[in-house]
Structures are given as C-alpha cells and as structure tokens.
Amino acid sequence: MTISSYRLAVPLALAAAVGLFTVASAQQSPPAKQAKPAAKSETKSEAKSPQAKQTKQAAPGPAAGGGQPTLLGQFGDWGAYTASNGGKKLCYALAKPSSSATEPTRPRDPAYVFISTRPSESVRNEISIVIGYPFKPGSEASVDIGSAKYAMYTQADGAWIKNAAEEARMVDAMRKGSDMVVAGESGRGTKSTDRYALKGLSQALDRVAQECK
C-alpha cells in the first residue's frame, strides 16, 4: 500500500461510518443522480493512482473491527467527531461542500474536507481534501479563502497542503473566513469547483481540541 493509500484510508473509512457515503460508493459511481448517457463518470475506480509523494508522514489505516466514530457536536456544516484507529484516539472536523460544479458535467463521488488531530502522532489540524475523482497526475489543486490562496499537492483523489509551513495559517484563515473554494482537475480533464461554508468550523475545531488534547 502506498503512503497516499494509508493517508486516504482513515478519512474514507470514517466518512463512510458517519454516513457521507457507503463503502460501495467509495469504489464506484453513486447509483443516484445519473448523468446524461454520453457523460462518463469521474470516479476514482476509473484511473490508476500516480506514484505516491512522500512529503508528509502517512496516517495509518483503520484497524479491522475498529470502533465507529462518535459525533461530538454539529456546528453549521461542520461535524466534530472522535474515533479509535488501531487503538489510538483521533478527532476530526468534517464537512461536505455547500455547492459543487464540474465542467463538463460528469458524476463524481462525494467530496469533503477532513481536518484531523492525532495526539499519538503529535499531529494537529492536518487538512485533507477528498475530491471525488482521481486528480490529473502531477496536477495541483488550489484552495481560495478570501484573498488567500493555497497550493495543494494531489495523489489519487486526495489533496494536502503543498507547503506544510502554511498549514497553521490556512487553518487560521478557515476559522476567520466565510467560505472556501477548492478547484481541481481530473485525469479526464474535468475541472471542478467546490465551495465550503466555514461558519461553525471554529466551534468544531475547538471541540476537537478539547477532546484530543
């Protein structure tokens, strides 16, 4: 398993557990909301993953039979959760986009943002984005928060901040901002724009920090 596969395993499993999508939908296009017959699905099962980048330490995958996430509180679009991963506690804030667009229009798996804290690894507020399709190999995603822009390196259908030194500033911008726009491009050339409402994020992160000190 590549480093990226490990990093994606935790958010995918936990998102499925809290009802964002089923395990089956993580492997294929969702059956609902069928596109026009000529449109091809933009799901991660249709493209090979590019070579993993080893910029940051990988998050371990969830252990088999691990406990289900517990909702600590819902704050606007953001939920605060805690869970056990291989016997190690982690906490995270998670949200789905308030609006999404693709050009050309093609179905894709659900997108979401996942901000995790893992005390056992001394990781706090690590930002992960799942886009819902395999990114174009070697491409970067971009995140706009007000006038601030952040470059994200990509692997499979996940994205992480390219410059780790900017992550704390990005979280601070998210706390203070009203919305966040994530733009990316798939291997098929489909371009997507997801907008996330940031109201409630500060409270969700405060609850996460309280639970995972």
DSSP state letters, 135-201: BPTT-EEEEEETTEEEEEEEETTEEEESSGGGHHHHHHHHHH-SEEEEEEEBTTS-EEEEEEE-TTH
At 13, is the pLDDT very low, low, confident or very high (cuts 50, 70, 90)?
low
More confident: 184 or 84: 184
Strand partners, 102: 192
Supply the pTM of this predicted model. 0.74
pLDDT above 70 (res 10): no
At 211, is the pLDDT very low, low, confident or very high (cuts 50, 70, 90)?
very high
State yes or no: cis peptide before 104, omega within 30 of 0.
yes
Give the integer Cα–Cα distance in Å for 61 and 85: 7
Average pLDDT over residues 170-199: 97
Task: Say what the pLDDT of residue 106 is.
Answer: 87
Share of the chain above pLDDT 90, in %: 63
- CATH 2.60.40.1880 applies to domain 3-27+42-53+67-211: yes
What is the average pLDDT value for the chain, to the nearest integer?
78
Residues in Cβ contact with 46 at an 8 Å cutoff, skipping those fewer than 6 apart: 40, 134
